[in-house]
Amino acid sequence: MADGSLGAISNNNVYALLKDHQNRLWVGTWQGLNRYDETTKTFEKYLFDAKGEQLSSNQITYLFEDSQNRIWIGTFEGVNIFYPEKNIFESYLHVPNDKSSLSHNFINCIMEDSQNNIWIGTNNGLNRFNETERNFHRLTTDDGLKNNVIYGILEDDSQRLWISTNKGIETYNRKDKKFENHFYNDGLQKYTV
């Protein structure tokens, strides 16, 4: 129970859970990231730091571990990459007028495709992380998405991305860089306002 005491979870409002490759449990709450220590039965807390050395926001929305064993932390204010063995954070935010920054700070989902690309769904578009440049390529309604609010992303055996939005499901063919919109005549529920 969150009670402010040393070793307690930082908040009872839990929004994300992750069991990493070392079997450690990570808990994303409304008041920071927590790692549960099975031996001591306590939580280690990672909180917002105005200096940018830890989380960009305490409000955690999503947790994901990639193939490099980095933990991606989606928040209300951008995405963070955490290197647990080094205890180092990298933070990425939306920067107005910078098209290589995140398209929006509210993060809904994060996934890694079969080619090790990291994809991030936000409240204003889909973002692919450029590992070399440490920035993002954005895809929005300007690129063919039916809606910019991205809730989930999965990859199929043909390496297409299936994307859930406020207006149904989209598929993104990375080879030809095109979106296909799926509607109620494809078997989905009818969209109503």
d(CA 141, CA 78): 20
Two tokens, residue 82: 């955490």
Query: Among 103-107, 179-183, 186-190, which is the least confidently predicted range?
Result: 186-190
Tokens of 79: 């995405």
Helix (H, G, I), strand (E, B) or coil at 186: helix
Whole-structure pTM value: 0.90
Q: Say if residue 187's pLDDT is above 90.
A: no
Residue 46, CA distances (Å) to 5, 30, 52, 61, 160 in order: 15, 12, 12, 14, 35
Q: pLDDT tens-digit profile of 119-164?
A: 999 999 999 999 999 999 999 999 999 999 999 999 999 999 999 9
- Domains by residue range for the chain, with CATH: 14-186 (2.130.10.10)
For residue range 42-80, what is the model confidence (pLDDT) as tens digits? 999 999 987 778 899 999 999 999 999 999 999 999 999
Which of 104, 100, 99, 107 is closest to 81 using CA atoms?
Answer: 107
